[in-house]
Amino acid sequence: MRYNGEYYEGRHEPIITKKLFDDVQEVMKQKSKPQKPDKMKFFLYRGLFRCGECSYAITADRKIKKSGKQYTYYYCTKKNPNHKCSQNVFTREEKILSQINEVLQKVSLSNDWADWMIKKLEREKEEKVQSSRFFAQKIESEIKEIDEKLEKLMTAYLENALSLE
Ligand SMILES: [Zn+2]
């Protein structure tokens, strides 16, 4: 424990074990290490797909055409030591995107269904608003009634028609 700039042996029960403390320090040290520059380059689909032939990771790179336009390509890392992968294909990111869209189309909701669901939700919301409005009106009229009773009592009291009790 540090107190007034000096360290003293603590006599309290530690909240966490020394081992856990040391482990956490180690993890934090690892995390604060700078990453290799290559790992910081961002590719949308890197790490998402594996090669259909050798099942090893698909990686990506960027190329700049003569026109100055940049393209992102994906290709097999071919790092499987037990299989000499024959894939020499570089696939453009746009092509992958259109294939993903095709798959998503098959499982996505049709517009008709989506419209129907949205309308149903809107109706439910409207009903809820109606019922809380009705509830509020009921309470308001109750309050008004009680106020009127109070007023009558007060008048009767002030005119000495009622004792304080
Ligand atoms: Zn491969």
Please, what are the averages of pLDDT over each run of 10 residues along the chain (165 residues)?
Answer: 77 79 83 63 84 91 87 90 89 91 86 91 94 94 95 86 70
Residue 94: its pLDDT value, please? 92
Residue 124: its pLDDT value, please? 95
Q: How far is the CA of 131 from the centre of ligand 1 (A)?
A: 62
Measured between alpha carbons, how far is 98 from 123 in angstroms, rounded to an integer? 36
DSSP-assigned states of every residue in 89-100: --EEHHHHHHHH
Contacts of 7 (CB under 8 A, 6+ apart): 1
Q: How far is the CA of 88 from the centre of ligand 1 (A)?
A: 9
Q: How far is the CA of 77 from the centre of ligand 1 (A)?
A: 7
Q: How far is the CA of 43 from the centre of ligand 1 (A)?
A: 19
Q: Which residues pair with 62 in a beta bridge?
A: 72
Residue 54: its pLDDT value, please? 92
Residue 145: its pLDDT value, please? 96
Residue 36: its pLDDT value, please? 60
Q: How far is the CA of 75 from the centre of ligand 1 (A)?
A: 8
Residue 1: its pLDDT value, please? 72
- Sequence spans of domains, the chain: 37-107, 110-165
Q: How far is the CA of 61 from the centre of ligand 1 (A)?
A: 16
* Alpha carbon separation from 132 to 113, 118, 136, 139, 146 (Å, rounded): 29, 21, 6, 11, 21
Residue 18: its pLDDT value, please? 82
Indicate the helix (H) or strand (E) that contains 112.
helix 111-158
Q: How far is the CA of 159 from the centre of ligand 1 (A)?
A: 100
Task: Tell me the per-residue pLDDT of 95-126, one tens digit each, with 9 for 90 and over.
Answer: 999 998 998 888 888 888 889 999 999 999 99
